[in-house]
Structure 1
Amino acid sequence: MVKDRAIFPLLEEFLSIFPAVGILGPRQVGKTTLVKNLNLDREAFYIDLEKASDRLKLSDPELFLKTHQDKTVILDEIQFMPELFAELRSLIDENRVPARFILLGSASPDLIRNSGDSLAGRIGYLELPPFTVQEVDQMDTLWLRGGFPLSFLASSERVSLIWRENFIKTYIERDLGMLGLNTDPRQVEKFWMILAHAQGSIWNGDGISRALGLTRPTVNRYLEFLEGSFMIRVLQPYHDNIKKRLVKSPKVYIRDSGILHALAGIKALEELQTKMLVGASWEGFVIEQIINCLGDAYQYFYYRTHQGSECDLILVKSGKVMVAVEIKNSLAPKITKGFRISMEDMQAAEGVVIYRGGDDFPIDQNINVMGLKSFIQKYTP
């Protein structure tokens, strides 16, 4: 069962404030379906900029858009015509009303850069992630298949896997090029496979560049594009006012667990449980769910010292560590000494161990064991 998308209330608020609202996210995440299901105060006019016929309509954008100034104009795949931003700025300044434009984009760095320069103060941005545990009931299915709608809702595990394998192929061979990364698709595929088998590891750009026979700047560019298109999560280390030798390189995760499992060739949940990847997969899944559900309410980091103290995820607010999180793929989790030390180092307000079970209970002073859903419910603002 799929519930309403959690983004709806905030999207409606943005549409009541901003003349333009940008909804960013990877392809096939449901952006178009989302906006077509909105109940807008104005009539909506939809333009798909991936279609040559629709781009032709905008050969004179000022003339065309002014004929629809009484409507909410939805511009899908806006990265195909970044030159529109300058025109949108002029039109908004002439007639500044809320919800005049809705821009949908696949998180192109060019899109972000152009819109940031030309529509500052006129646009509000939202990210639409894949399905989250707030939106679906079957958490194990969500973990295995990931949250892309056509993967999660597929009629069988086989159909879901076939969809994800083809998504990966199309993304590498076509979509990255359209986002601006013009390179050998085989090298990008190898890069993504390396990241999959090192899920949640400390970023080692030098090692990866040697493995691929590429320069360090090229590998960094791959990472930048995959992060910019919401396919990779780069989790930065926490080091504020800590007088210890800390690991200062980021950790890297493939954001969607279903894409991770397809890259690793995992077909079923039973198979996943037997793989060494299972712990890293669960860790990445939990981190992604927390960040997508809690959003801008916190800043997110990990913590690790060279002496071995570590914490999988830290929730920071106003410069203070509110929650230190340890993630365990277990029904009987135990607290490590390193987790206790890390809490003391950061002066964390409280600690939580997120495990595979559903019951919540205290396990130590100021440390609780919680299921993922109850954690998200407790810390959602």
Structure 2
Amino acid sequence: MIIRIADKEIRVLASMYKSLAIVGPRQSGKTTLAKHIFGSKPYVSLENPDARQFAESDPRGFLEQYPNGAVLDEIQRVPQLFSYLQQIIDESSETGLFILWGSNNFLLQENISQSLAGRIAYLFLLPFSIEELAKEGLLPSDAYQAMFAGGYPPIYDLKIPPSTWYLNYIRTYVERDVRQIKNITNLGAFERFLRLCAGRVGQLLNMNSLGIEAGVDHKTVASWLGVLESSFIVHLLRPHHQNFNKRIVKMPKLYFYDTGLACALLGIQNEAQLVTHPLRGSLFENFIISEMVKTRFNKNEPNNLYFWRDSTGNEIDVIIDKGGKLYPVEIKSGKTVTDDYFKGLNFWSKITGAAEGVVVYAGDAQQKRSNGMEVRPWNQAGEL
């Protein structure tokens, strides 16, 4: 088993709160981690039809089976339980009583806000990070190999080829999870929409043009994007509001949480195809940004990442907002550092007066320049 970075934070939260919710995409390792940390507690998956039927028909009787608490997996499947959990948690003084796990953030948050607000801690668990794989000697030596493989545990545990595993994951997600989240009848159109999203990785999100290409209206695009966000398939990188006396872009940019999944949706079947793919640069950018997001979530810290672009096309790929201090990051998919890599950072320095920033690239060397700029290899992205 790979020890997850979030392991420590989960234990701390469980010692402070009566209940804890861990949310992340399917197959991200939630169940394995739950059994590892909370092995002394009963584990119940509400995906099991018998357990779910019992919980739905008699929620009080179901919970009375676990006077000392339990790990309840996919609890969003039985929303009736939350009201009964509220009473049990309020009457108990024990911390870490019920540990709730789920793969649908929207449904889980909706029920928590109605019944358990203020009583529960919350943490996101995404697929393996670069740091987690590196510690176990599982991280590919090449950035493009790592991008193609992605971070989902079965790729590394069961040694299933990424192209095979992701295609089945997509099929299961569309045919099973999407039906649970939203009553979408045209699953073929939704899968086509999902693949179109993969083709727009790293681009500004224009819902009108996406809707036209997908053959659906603006409201449907917004609804389907909500489905993809709540099930941890995609996330949106928001523009930073600070404009430095220039007009700035206000649309978010679209990224996937896992580049292996994005590659599969684009029909990329091996690393060689990725290296020559026209979206290689965007996928590498996605890869690095997702790693930075994972690092924040593993420490239970809020997402403080943005991008910045003005109306004339000047852009910084990532702005890290450190409590008002803005730290710029440029992401380049090449393996050889060139002066052109610093163009965005030099412009940022000119308009802000701050002589610092970092370029993350697909090579292996680390550099610290005399002008305050740094160069970091791809496998150090989480350290930012």
Q: TM-score, normalised by structure 1?
A: 0.92
2:155 maps to which of 146, 151, 161 = 151
Corresponding residue number in structure 2 for 1:209: 211
Most deviating of 239-248 and 285-294: 239-248
Q: How many residues align?
A: 371
1:301 aligns with 2:306: yes
CA distance in 2 between partners of 1:292 and 1:308 (Å): 28
Corresponding residue number in structure 2 for 1:192: 194
Checking the alignment, whether the CA contact within 8 Å between 1:85 and 1:114 is kept in structure 2 is: yes
Judged with a 3 Å threshold, the aligned counterparts in structure 2 of structure 1 residues 362 and 177 are, in CA distance, closer, same or farther, namely same
Judged with a 3 Å threshold, the aligned counterparts in structure 2 of structure 1 residues 297 and 20 are, in CA distance, closer, same or farther, namely closer
1:130 aligns with 2:124: no
1:69 aligns with 2:81: no
1:142 aligns with 2:143: no
Q: CA deviation at 1:311?
A: 0.6
Deviations 1:211-267 (A, max 9, x none): 122110110111111011111010000122532111110000122111011111112
**In angstroms, what is the RMSD of aligned CA positions?**
1.9
CA distance in 1 between partners of 2:89 and 2:352 (Å): 46
SS across alignment from 1:201: coil
Counterpart amino acid of 2:118?
G
Deviations 1:161-186 (A, max 9, x none): 11110110111121111122424111
Matches within 5 A, 1:1-381: 3-38=2-37, 43-58=40-55, 59-70=57-68, 72-137=69-134, 138-139=139-140, 140=142, 141-155=145-159, 159-240=161-242, 242-295=244-297, 296=301, 299-321=304-326, 323-334=327-338, 335-346=341-352, 348=354, 350-363=356-369, 365-377=371-383, 379=384
SS across alignment from 1:135: helix
Q: TM-score, normalised by structure 2?
A: 0.91
Q: CA deviation at 1:153?
A: 3.7
CA distance in 2 between partners of 1:168 and 1:347 (Å): 46
Judged with a 3 Å threshold, the aligned counterparts in structure 2 of structure 1 residues 24 and 309 are, in CA distance, closer, same or farther, namely same
Checking the alignment, whether the CA contact within 8 Å between 2:330 and 2:344 is kept in structure 1 is: no
Query: Where in structure 2 are there 5+ consecutive unaligned residues?
Result: none
Checking the alignment, whether the CA contact within 8 Å between 2:234 and 2:256 is kept in structure 1 is: yes
SS across alignment from 1:134: helix
Q: CA deviation at 1:149?
A: 0.8
Q: Which has the bigger relative contact order, CA under 8 A and spacing at least 6?
A: 2
Judged with a 3 Å threshold, the aligned counterparts in structure 2 of structure 1 residues 347 and 118 are, in CA distance, closer, same or farther, namely farther
Counterpart amino acid of 1:326?
E
CA distance in 1 between partners of 2:200 and 2:177 (Å): 24
Q: CA deviation at 1:93?
A: 0.7
Judged with a 3 Å threshold, the aligned counterparts in structure 2 of structure 1 residues 294 and 349 are, in CA distance, closer, same or farther, namely farther
